[in-house]
Structure 1
């Protein structure tokens, strides 16, 4: 039941116009670029006010997140106006790891990102793609220190650290960039709002991906251009937008690990509940479980339909979760064989070293169950049966 008093109070705090003005003041700029965002921002903030009982810390973090994203858009557009060659950067051929969350995507992302022959989605760069005005060449980038206040580092949260350690100078999924559109699946992983999720699923994702492509061109330009280095991407919401993803990165090499959804869904619910606790004053695990199940069921149906319609079986390297765990170098070598790139001995060695030194459970055991989120095995069978019959049960 909607708590009208809380909704109204939180709505006053989450005032899009005030946050926009604050961001413009911080940046000293007014041009956010060619992509309209206010409709999405107002929808997102309204759903936060309506559906998440924010703690005092959560309210402060959320408002800071919004201002940070807006400031980055402002600074990026200023730099693109000054350097229009940024939009000539070629980001068309990344390695992209797709699949259900908690299916081995993070391990593959970090392994593929280990060598210096690729471009890395480092956490501090994903949080702040635009350089800070006080950056001094040759000194530590101030964006690195700024991440300490993000609220997302997992060192002090054993459950989250066991599931998905987040560190300042490690690669992290680039869903953080897609948040800049305010109309993206990534937000719904934090916010249990059927209204918001259904709205973004009904909207076009084209502008969000166009904005993200612009960000990666911007980051690549900052780092001296492509220089033969492909990006390595991994963001689980790509699963719902495979057609749009292909439009913007048409020469991508796709790798998809497959793991039983009986494990993936409660594991992801456990991790994202940890994220929600950073922001929420109270939290309903069963509601979260039901919404996690529903969103990934919808995403899976959309993914399978697009995969069939676009006949993408030959474009996607399908791999079993156990291979990710025990012999991931086989996956790496097959992926490189499908890509425009050669796997150098040095890159091979660095990826193998990452695998060797990062065994499962290194940061603690991630424990979860369907029952703690009010789910049953039948719920999984009912929602993922077709996927499992094609990709899981055959193994």
Structure 2
């Protein structure tokens, strides 16, 4: 049954239970006396992770820099409530444990290194551009495999064919999603999630503590600045290791991966996955910026003392602009190294210009096209990469669309002025992006 009558707005803050309000109140009072009360400790987080996992070896120290910068940024800039400190501490400890278990499993099962991750489909684009819908559709193709939400935090030991549907970690993931739903029920209308649905593989990058997903939990400016220019190759190498571990027990033909976070570092993605088939989704930036600011301000409200909506809006507007800028610059560098590509682009070949691909490794997909014809969009994407969508995959996708209308979990409403942003100014800042990718305006 559709809940499309429910409307969710960015200013709809969480309604905490009495115990949570008491916890936050106590923490707030304690910090008046001891300003450092409740701050995260890198040493304590590492020790707790090692004790919980029963393991000690974190492997190469490349993870440490991002870990320390993130914890320091959370402590000094996050303005977290006591609940937020517990949540972020839990996220970081779980990430440390995941890293320990992945490296331990790979060490004890050297055959993992022989697993080949070939020509993965990688869906990316600014947040709120249809990447989740496309990811869900791709997972319905029997040839594809996505990282499921419950697997993302429990890579090792990897599930097997016999327990993949009833692994006890699925129940743990459902329980965790239920807690978020209670604290921030409006999130489901903005970004539907479930333990057994595909999720962003961004959490695998988090094993190196180089991931934009940490910033969805609060405003961590220093970490965000560092992330934009850090060396992401080790993060993608750990990402690949996670896929190898998962694939070692369940044979996999082709991975279908998704996260907007890839857009920030396409160079590192291609360094580790040189044959990746990238799908870049495009949408009117006025809709993107308002939607992503709305989603993140709702998540921040769960963790912080007070949400500065204008700051969240400016921050994510800038982050989205940076993402499309560096993503385009990467493609331009690849194009400039291909004489034939450059000559064809400079010609008046309309069909070729519309594709805007680099050696056919990138497919540009408009959000409007995806919403208007989801299954047809997937077919066109497959044709671009010289792949074939089976009749079974096509029928599954069509059936899924009938079961999952866009407003199934409610309607997400937002305006740019809620975040102190001027539509004309945003359009101007994203002008080059809009022109290059011929992004149509949406509802204006």
Instruction: Give me the TM-score of the superposition, normalised by structure 2.
Output: 0.81
The answer to whether the aligner puts 1:268 opposite 2:292 as a matched pair is: yes
Give, in angstroms, the shift of residue 210 of structure 1.
0.9
Of 283, 288, 291, 1:259 maps to 283
Looking at structure 1, the residues matched to 49 and 120 of structure 2 have their Cα atoms a distance apart, in angstroms, of 32
- Note closer, same or farther for the CA distance 1:209–1:269 as it changes in structure 2 (3 Å cut): same
1:94 positional shift: 1.2
Distance 1:6 1:347, change over 3 A: farther
Aligned to 2:186: 159
Deviations for 1:13-43, whole angstroms, at most 9, x for unmatched residues? Answer: 3111111111111111111123522221111
Matched, 1:213 2:259: no
1:317 is paired with a residue whose SS is strand
Over 3 Å counting, the alpha-carbon distance change for 1:138 and 1:107 in structure 2 is closer
CA positional deviation for 1:71: 1.1
Instruction: Name the counterpart of 2:22.
Output: none
Aligned to 2:196: 169
1:184 corresponds in structure 2 to 211
Pairwise mapping of residues 355-366 of structure 1 onto structure 2 (< 5 A)?
A: 355-366=401-412
Match of 1:196 in 2: 223
Distance 1:79 1:273, change over 3 A: same
Distance 1:285 1:309 in 2: 36
Partner of residue 49, structure 1: 75
Q: Does 2:389 match 1:343?
A: yes
Q: Secondary structure at the match of 1:278?
A: helix
Structure-to-structure mapping, 1:71-82, within 5 angstroms: 71-82=97-108
After superposition, the C-alpha distances for 1:95-115 in whole angstroms (9 at most, x for unaligned) are 111111111111111111123
Q: SS of 1:233's equivalent?
A: strand
State how far apart, in whole Å, the 2-side matches of 1:161 and 1:132 are. 28
Deviates more, 1:187-196 or 1:237-246: 187-196
- Please list the CA deviations of residues 38-74 of structure 1 after superposition, one character each: whole Å capped at 9, or x if unmatched: 2211110110111112222221121111111111111
Report which of the two structures shows the higher radius of gyration computed on alpha carbons. 2
Report if aligned partners of 2:70, 2:220 keep a CA contact under 8 Å in 1: no
1:357, distance to aligned residue in structure 2 (A):
2.1
What residue is the counterpart of 1:293 in the other structure? Answer: 317
- The residue correspondences of 1:295-310 to structure 2 (distance < 5 A) are 295-310=319-334
CA distance in 1, matches of 2:35, 2:241: 36
Number of equivalences: 386
Structure 1 residue 155: deviation in Å?
4.3
C-alpha distance in 1 between matches for 2:316 and 2:164 = 45
Matched, 1:150 2:172: no
- SS in structure 2 of the partner of residue 231 of structure 1: strand
1:129 aligns with one of 142, 155, 159? 155
Cα distance in structure 2, aligned partners of 1:153 and 1:323: 35
2:186 is paired with a residue of what secondary structure?
helix
Task: Give the stretch that moved more between structures: 88-97 or 186-195.
Answer: 186-195
- Contact kept, 8 Å, 1:7 with 1:50, in 2: the verdict is no
2: CA distance between counterparts of 1:153 and 1:341? 40
What corresponds to 1:382 in structure 2?
A: 428
* Distance 1:150-1:6 versus aligned 2 partners, 3 A rule: farther
Q: Is the 8 A contact 1:92 1:248 kept in 2?
A: no
Distance 1:6 1:274 in 2: 26
User: Residues 123 and 170 of structure 1 are in contact (CA less than 8 Å); yes or no, is this contact kept in structure 2?
Assistant: yes
**Moved runs in structure 1, 4+ residues, more than 6 A?**
5-8
Report the counterpart of residue 141 of structure 1 in structure 2: 167
TM-fit CA distance, 1:138 = 8.6
Alignment partner, residue 98 of structure 1: 124
Q: Matches of 2:60 and 2:33 in 1, distance apart?
A: 32
Q: TM-score, normalised on structure 1?
A: 0.91
- CA spacing shift, 1:379–1:139, aligned 2, 3 Å: closer
- The separation in 2 between residues aligned to 1:236 and 1:148, in whole angstroms, is 24
1: CA distance between counterparts of 2:191 and 2:32? 32
CA distance in structure 2 between the partners assigned to 1:338 and 1:129 by the alignment: 32
- Kindly state the Cα deviation for residue 125 of structure 1 after the two structures are TM-superposed: 0.4
Distance 1:193 1:7, change over 3 A: farther
- Give the 3 Å change call, closer, same or farther, for CA 154–220 of structure 1 in structure 2: same
Q: Against the structure 1 CA distance between its residues 248 and 7, is the aligned structure 2 distance closer, same or farther, given a 3 Å change threshold?
A: farther
Q: Residue 269 of structure 1 contacts residue 288 of structure 1 at CA under 8 Å; is this kept in 2?
A: yes
In 2, Cα distance between equivalents of 1:339 and 1:386: 27
